[in-house]
């Protein structure tokens, strides 16, 4: 055990515990932490390869100003001076931070505090906008707060697990392993997978519903209607704990069974079986991920799923409930500290004068942002049209991952002042920076992350900081001090930031918010260092103890009731004669985001070496492309060229292309250059699914 450090995997939202060890020769070995309640010793291929990704190749080791090495003081002074000058001349909304679910909670907290409390703007958004903001919006509409009811154990206890818009086997592999093990133990457990593509996850399913892309709203509105018509509503629960049922029913009654069949394209037998399973099974968990969230109707999709669980009272009890799976290691931690443009810290609402006052008094800040800031797509649009004069990007690569990626690259290139904090100097985004600030990577940095089931775990450092790299929270605090806010950013260590975050979550908590982590305010450095994984809520002493949300039927709207949201399906087919294919983007098993880390492992790259488009054999024949031939995919936004992967797992007329490849690995493989900047009207989450494109055999010019 000596020299072994317990930490947390930095990739997906499962948040697996990892035991890392540095060998005498400096190599890093990892294994799953058997004591971590999220993975009990398991790791997936990405987690197992963590030791292969921590080399210094390509690392940014010193601050740089316009490509020239600079001292930290010089770089930080310039950042503070330029941001202050832009604010003085153009106002607080002329600057922006674009941050990341890769940041630790402590980094996120300091970034949010500096922007919202001291600069006075809410122009801080995150790449988590691309991943789960529709779930946040759906939770807030239904529950009155962004509270995720599910736990991983619920999947193991359920008799019916529905996975919609989730390729769990590849995107949350350890959770998939837990589910597969539970099903092997209890063969009576049923699994339904809803996905236009026959994914690896679908192979585990008793029923695979290959719906047309983006027709999940019709599917679940039809389910809601079916529950009513078959007397499957828990009338007592609905009367005692909810409101808006009648309006939701009126909206759903306009959708007949035949309408659902027509929209989804499902065979009647399959649809009947799905509705029968849901209607007759008490312990149902519905997991959803990017296939639901990344849609122009993402928030409505979330709410129709929540409607079905509320209508049957299947929420707040073991083995049942809706469960949004987060994509990133700390998307949830970002939500807790308000790292989104439309949220305040500690789940408080930026729209509420009372909440703004509470946060401002706690921070003792000179001002507080008074309205929501720019969400990711709008933020880069504001960069493009010159409204943003100074932009700080942290731990993310929007030139690859944002929709309309070429336009985002052009906007960043044209921005008068761009700061990028990253571990690498070679990312597609870092190349456009005026100032590069070297950050700490996994194994070097220290702090906390929160996974999909609200479990807060420590990431611990076990490697020396390379070169002059420093933590993101430190960089932000140094800039805050230089902007004139020395007392508010006087942190010495991440433990102090965490303690402040915990204290804020419990501050003046008499308003009934019992989902805080106030019990962790006042931690000593030593207890922070030895902090074991725990789930919030963890109220301060004297607060109401509750380990499971909604167990007592209470929600966070003022009247304590949940809300049904009346949703009507919208037509989802965007194809046209010019753009006859539907493109869905997504993840593959062995790569992470834009491959800046997983791309270093030859073992991981041997799984799938190049970007590809999955397409149906008849579509491949019609466009005249053979297996491994090159396909050009085009939309009004741009083009990408990838290998054809011909498979009947893919429905006719549709394509699946992974989102990982950047220009370093494939010259024309950036699929987000093809995706238009269409967003959900409520959450602002980009629709990375259901994109109308043309596909043809590539011919070199
Ligand atoms: Fe890491 Fe996710 Fe794999 Fe767990 S399942 S090891 S958190 S990538």
Q: Please give the residue that has the higher pLDDT: either 105 or 525.
A: 105
Report the alpha-carbon distance of residue 409 to residue 657 in Å, rounded: 21
Q: Could you read off the pLDDT of 124-170 as tens digits, one per residue?
A: 999 989 988 999 999 999 999 888 888 999 999 999 999 999 999 99
**Burial letters 61-94, b for 16+ CB under 10 A, else e:** ebbbbeeeebebeebbebbbebbbebbeeeebbb
The residue whose C-alpha atom lies closest to atom 3 belonging to ligand 1 is: 44
Highest mean pLDDT among 234-238, 531-535, 664-668: 234-238
Tokens of 1: 């055990």
The backbone region for 117, taken as left when phi is positive above 0, alpha when psi lies in -120 to 50, beta otherwise, is alpha
CA dihedral 71, 72, 73, 79 (to 10 degrees): 110
Report the alpha-carbon distance of residue 594 to residue 662 in Å, rounded: 6
Q: Could you read off the pLDDT of 68-101 as tens digits, one per residue?
A: 999 999 999 999 999 999 999 999 999 999 999 8
Q: How far is the CA of 658 from the centre of ligand 1 (A)?
A: 18
Residue 511 — very low, low, confident or very high, per pLDDT cuts 50/70/90?
Answer: very low
- Atom number of ligand 1 nearest to Cα 44: 3
**Nearest residue to 371 (alpha-carbon basis) of 384, 387, 355:** 355
CATH number of the domain located at residue range(s) 133-325 in this protein: 3.40.228.10
As a three-state string, the secondary structure of 234-250 is: CHHHHHHHEECHHHHHH
Q: Could you read off the pLDDT of 414-432 as tens digits, one per residue?
A: 999 999 999 999 899 999 9
The residue extents of the domains of the chain are 4-53, 64-130+330-499, 133-325, 581-697
Q: How far is the CA of 11 from the centre of ligand 1 (A)?
A: 6
Q: How far is the CA of 163 from the centre of ligand 1 (A)?
A: 18
Mutate to test the pocket of ligand 1, among 17, 18, 32, 39 (most ligand atoms within 8 A of CB): 39
Q: Could you read off the pLDDT of 10-20 as tens digits, one per residue?
A: 999 999 999 99
- Atom number of ligand 1 nearest to Cα 45: 3
CA dihedral 422, 426, 431, 436 (to 10 degrees): 30
Q: How many CB atoms lie within 10 A of CB 545?
A: 10
Q: Whose structure tokens read 């433990």?
A: 495
Q: How far is the CA of 446 from the centre of ligand 1 (A)?
A: 18
Q: Please give the residue that has the higher pLDDT: either 97 or 598.
A: 97
Tokens of 666: 């494939």
Q: How many CB atoms lie within 10 A of CB 663?
A: 18
Q: Could you read off the pLDDT of 358-409 as tens digits, one per residue?
A: 999 999 999 999 999 999 999 999 999 999 999 999 999 999 899 999 999 9
Tokens of 104: 């630790």
- Three-state SS for 19? strand
Find the helix packing angle between 216-229 and 245-253, rounded to 10°. Answer: 110
Q: Whose structure tokens read 């700490």?
A: 440
pLDDT of residue 569: 83
- Atom number of ligand 1 nearest to Cα 32: 6
- Atom number of ligand 1 nearest to Cα 14: 7
Q: How far is the CA of 502 from the centre of ligand 1 (A)?
A: 26
Quote the percentage of the chain above a pLDDT of 70.
95
The residue whose C-alpha atom lies closest to atom 2 belonging to ligand 1 is: 12
pLDDT of residue 536: 81
β partners of residue 644: 613
Residues 6 or more apart in contact with residue 74 via CB below 8 angstroms:
63, 65
Q: How far is the CA of 46 from the centre of ligand 1 (A)?
A: 6
Pairing of strands 207-209, 284-288: unpaired
- Three-state SS for 414? helix
Has residue 205 got a pLDDT over 50? yes
Q: Please give the residue that has the higher pLDDT: either 507 or 110.
A: 110
Q: How far is the CA of 453 from the centre of ligand 1 (A)?
A: 14
Domain 4-53, CATH number (from 3.40.50.2300, 2.20.25.90, 3.40.605.10, 1.10.10.410): 2.20.25.90
The single-letter DSSP state of residue 47 is H
Residue 599 — very low, low, confident or very high, per pLDDT cuts 50/70/90?
Answer: confident
Mutate to test the pocket of ligand 1, among 174, 330, 607 (most ligand atoms within 8 A of CB): 174
Mutate to test the pocket of ligand 1, among 10, 20, 46, 289 (most ligand atoms within 8 A of CB): 46
Residue 446 — very low, low, confident or very high, per pLDDT cuts 50/70/90?
Answer: very high
The residue whose C-alpha atom lies closest to atom 6 belonging to ligand 1 is: 47
**Burial letters 333-358, b for 16+ CB under 10 A, else e:** bbbbbbbbbbbbbbbbbbeeeebbeb
Residue 337 — very low, low, confident or very high, per pLDDT cuts 50/70/90?
Answer: confident
Mutate to test the pocket of ligand 1, among 9, 20, 32, 443 (most ligand atoms within 8 A of CB): 9
pLDDT of residue 521: 76
The residue whose C-alpha atom lies closest to atom 4 belonging to ligand 1 is: 16
CA dihedral 52, 36, 137, 109 (to 10 degrees): -70
Q: How far is the CA of 591 from the centre of ligand 1 (A)?
A: 11
Report the alpha-carbon distance of residue 638 to residue 632 in Å, rounded: 10
- Atom number of ligand 1 nearest to Cα 451: 7
Q: How far is the CA of 624 from the centre of ligand 1 (A)?
A: 39
Q: Could you read off the pLDDT of 221-270 as tens digits, one per residue?
A: 999 999 999 999 999 999 999 999 999 999 988 899 999 999 999 999 99
- Atom number of ligand 1 nearest to Cα 43: 6
Q: How many CB atoms lie within 10 A of CB 214?
A: 29
Averaged pLDDT score across all residues of the chain: 92
pLDDT of residue 685: 93
**CA 616, chain centre distance (Å):** 29
Under a CB-based contact definition with an 8 Å cutoff, are residues 550 and 230 in contact? Answer: no
Region 332-359: what's the mean pLDDT?
87
In 159-304, where do the E strands start and end?
A: 160-164, 190-194, 207-209, 242-243, 284-288
Region 545-553: what's the mean pLDDT?
76
**Nearest residue to 163 (alpha-carbon basis) of 325, 327, 42:** 325
- Atom number of ligand 1 nearest to Cα 39: 4
Residues 6 or more apart in contact with residue 598 via CB below 8 angstroms:
11, 46, 49, 53, 590, 591, 592, 604, 605, 660
Q: How far is the CA of 398 from the centre of ligand 1 (A)?
A: 23
Q: How far is the CA of 602 from the centre of ligand 1 (A)?
A: 18
- Atom number of ligand 1 nearest to Cα 48: 6
**What are the angstrom distances between the C-alpha of 618 and each of 338, 625, 644, 648?**
48, 10, 13, 9
Q: How many CB atoms lie within 10 A of CB 543?
A: 17
CATH number of the domain located at residue range(s) 581-697 in this protein: 2.40.40.20
Report the alpha-carbon distance of residue 506 to residue 520 in Å, rounded: 10
Q: How far is the CA of 171 from the centre of ligand 1 (A)?
A: 9
User: Structure pTM?
Assistant: 0.94
In 85-159, where do the E strands start and end?
A: 95-99, 124-126
CB-based burial label for 188 (10 Å; 0-12, 13-18, 19+): exposed
Report the alpha-carbon distance of residue 564 to residue 248 in Å, rounded: 6
pLDDT of residue 552: 86
How long, in residues, is the chain?
701
pLDDT of residue 700: 79
Report the alpha-carbon distance of residue 309 to residue 279 in Å, rounded: 11
Instruction: Say if 4-53 and 64-130+330-499 have the same CATH topology.
Output: no
Residues at CB less than 6 angstroms from ligand 1: 9, 11-12, 14-16, 39, 43-44, 46-47, 172-174
Q: How far is the CA of 36 from the centre of ligand 1 (A)?
A: 12
Prediction ipTM score? 0.99
Cα distance between the two ends of the chain: 59
Angle at 82 between CA 77 and CA 83, to 5 degrees: 100
Domain 64-130+330-499, CATH number (from 3.40.50.150, 3.40.640.10, 2.60.40.10, 3.40.50.740): 3.40.50.740
Quote the percentage of the chain above a pLDDT of 90.
76
C-alpha dihedral sign at 363, 369, 370, 375: negative
Report the alpha-carbon distance of residue 531 to residue 552 in Å, rounded: 29
Cis amide linkage into residue 537, ω under 30° from 0: yes
Residue 515 — very low, low, confident or very high, per pLDDT cuts 50/70/90?
Answer: low
Q: How far is the CA of 241 from the centre of ligand 1 (A)?
A: 36
């Amino acid at each position: 055990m000596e020299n072994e450090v317990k930490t947390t995997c930095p990739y997906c939202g499962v948040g697996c515990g990892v035991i890392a060890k540095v060998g005498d020769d400096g190599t890093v070995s990892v294994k799953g932490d058997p004591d971590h309640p999220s993975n009990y010793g398991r790791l997936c291929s990405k987690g197992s390869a963590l030791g292969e990704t921590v080399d210094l190749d390509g690392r940014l080791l010193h601050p740089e100003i316009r490509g020239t090495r600079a001292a930290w003081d010089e770089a930080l002074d310039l950042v503070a001076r330029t941001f202050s000058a832009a604010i003085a001349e153009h106002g607080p909304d002329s600057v922006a931070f674009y941050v990341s679910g890769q940041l630790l909670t402590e980094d996120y907290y300091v970034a949010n505090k500096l922007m919202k409390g001291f600069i006075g703007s809410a122009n801080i958004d995150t790449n988590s906008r691309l991943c789960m903001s529709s779930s946040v919006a759906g939770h807030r509409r239904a529950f009155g707060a962004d509270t995720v009811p599910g736990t991983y154990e619920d999947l193991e206890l359920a008799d019916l697990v529905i996975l919609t818009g989730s390729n769990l086997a590849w995107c949350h592999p350890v959770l998939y392993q837990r589910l597969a093990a539970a099903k092997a133990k209890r063969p009576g457990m049923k699994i339904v997978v809803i996905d236009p593509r026959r994914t690896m996850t679908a192979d585990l399913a008793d029923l695979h519903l290959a719906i047309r892309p983006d027709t999940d709203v019709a599917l679940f509105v039809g389910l809601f209607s079916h529950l009513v018509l078959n007397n499957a509503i828990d009338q007592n629960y609905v009367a005692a704990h909810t409101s808006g049922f009648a309006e939701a029913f009126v909206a759903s009654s306009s959708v007949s069974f035949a309408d659902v069949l027509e929209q989804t394209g499902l065979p009647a037998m399959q649809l009947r079986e799905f509705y029968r399973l849901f209607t007759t099974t008490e312990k149902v968990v519905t997991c959803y991920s990017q296939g639901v969230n990344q849609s122009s109707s993402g928030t409505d999709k979330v709410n129709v799923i929540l409607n079905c669980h509320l209508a049957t009272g299947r929420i707040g009890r073991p083995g049942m409930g809706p469960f949004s799976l987060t994509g990133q290691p700390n998307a949830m931690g970002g939500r807790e500290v308000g790292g989104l443009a439309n949220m305040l810290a500690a789940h408080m609402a930026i729209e509420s004068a009372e909440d703004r006052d509470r946060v401002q008094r706690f921070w003792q800040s000179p001002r507080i942002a008074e309205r929501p800031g720019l969400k990711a797509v709008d933020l880069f649009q504001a960069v493009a049209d010159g409204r943003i004069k100074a932009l700080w990007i942290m731990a993310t690569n929007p030139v690859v991952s944002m929709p309309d990626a070429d336009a985002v690259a052009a906007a960043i290139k044209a921005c008068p002042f761009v700061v990028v904090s990253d571990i690498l100097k070679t990312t597609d985004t870092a190349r456009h920076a005026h100032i590069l600030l070297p950050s700490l990577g996994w194994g070097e940095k220290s702090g906390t992350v929160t996974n999909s089931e609200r479990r807060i775990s420590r990431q611990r450092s076990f490697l020396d900081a390379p070169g002059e790299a420093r933590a993101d929270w430190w960089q932000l605090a140094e800039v805050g001090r230089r902007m004139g806010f020395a007392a508010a950013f006087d942190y010495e260590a991440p433990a102090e930031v965490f303690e402040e975050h915990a204290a804020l979550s419990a501050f003046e908590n008499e308003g009934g918010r019992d989902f805080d982590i106030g019990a962790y305010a006042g931690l000593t450095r030593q207890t922070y260092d030895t902090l074991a994984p725990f789930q919030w809520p963890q109220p301060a002493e004297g607060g109401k103890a509750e380990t499971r949300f909604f167990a007592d039927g209470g929600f966070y709207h003022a009247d304590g009731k949940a809300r049904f949201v009346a949703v009507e399906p919208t037509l989802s087919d965007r194809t046209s004669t010019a753009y006859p294919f539907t493109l869905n983007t997504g993840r593959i098993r062995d790569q992470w985001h834009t491959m800046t880390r997983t791309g270093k492992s030859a073992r991981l790259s041997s799984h799938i070496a190049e970007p590809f488009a999955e397409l149906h054999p008849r579509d491949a024949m019609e466009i005249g492309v053979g297996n491994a031939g090159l396909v050009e995919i085009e939309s009004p936004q741009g083009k990408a060229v990838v290998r054809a992967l011909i498979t009947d797992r893919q429905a006719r007329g549709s394509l699946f292309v992974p989102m990982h490849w950047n220009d370093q690995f494939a010259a024309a493989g950036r699929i987000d250059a093809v995706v238009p900047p269409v967003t959900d009207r409520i959450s602002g989450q980009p629709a990375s699914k259901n994109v109308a494109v043309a596909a043809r055999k590539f011919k070199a010019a």
